[in-house]
Amino acid sequence: MLWRTHFLAGATAGLLVASPGNIESAVATAAVSGFAALLPDIDSPYSKLGRVVPVLPRLLSLTVGHRGILHSFLGAAIVSLLATMFLRVWYGQEFWLLLSQVMAGYISHILLDCLTDSGCPLLYPLPGRYCLPLLNTGSFAEKLIFFPALFVLFAWSFAGFAGVV
C-alpha cells in the first residue's frame, strides 16, 4: 500500500476506536493514528518514514528485514508502547487514550499489508505469512477504488467524531 493509503486508514481507524469529541480532538486523534500507521514501514529505507529518518530504517532493514517482526502483532505491541511513551511526554495526553490511537493506526497498516500478495507474519515468531491478495501497492484498484472509498469512510467518521453531523 502507498503511504497515503496507510495514513488515511490509520486516521480512520483512530477515529473509529476513540470516544467522540470536538473538532480539535478529532484532528489530534486522526493525526496520531495516521502517523502511527506509517511506523511499521520504518524497517524500509524506501518508505515515506524511512526517507525522513535516515539511519534507523537502514539498520532495521539489515537486521529484521522489511515486513518482518514490525509487521506482526508482537511488533505492533512493542512499537506502540514505545511510541506512546514518547508521545505522552511530548503530547501530554492520557496513556491509554494515546495507546489506543497508536495501536489502531499501527494495526490498520498491518491489516492493509495483508491484502497484498506479500502478506505479513502476523503471529511472529511463529512461521507463516497471512495474506488475502486483493490489492497491489500503487495499483489502479488502490488509487481509484480503495483510496476514495477509504476517504469517504474517513470523512464520515471525522464528521461523526467531531459532532458535525
Q: Per-residue confidence at 22, pLDDT binned at 50, 70, 90?
A: confident
Q: What pLDDT does 67 receive? A: 86
The structural domains of the chain, with segments of one domain joined by +, span 3-156
- What DSSP string describes 82-142? HHHHHHHHHH---HHHHHHHHHHHHHHHHHHHTTSTT-B-TTTTSS--B------TT-HHI
Is residue 104 within 8 A of residue 19, CB to CB? The reply is no
Instruction: Determine the residue type at 68.
Output: G
d(CA 43, CA 64): 8
- Most confident of the following: 9-23, 98-112, 143-157: 98-112
For residue range 93-104, list pLDDT tens digits in order.
788 889 999 999
Residue 54 pLDDT greater than 80, yes or no: no
Is residue 117 within 8 A of residue 131, CB to CB? The reply is yes
- Judged by DSSP in three states, 45 sits in coil
Q: What pLDDT does 165 receive? A: 61
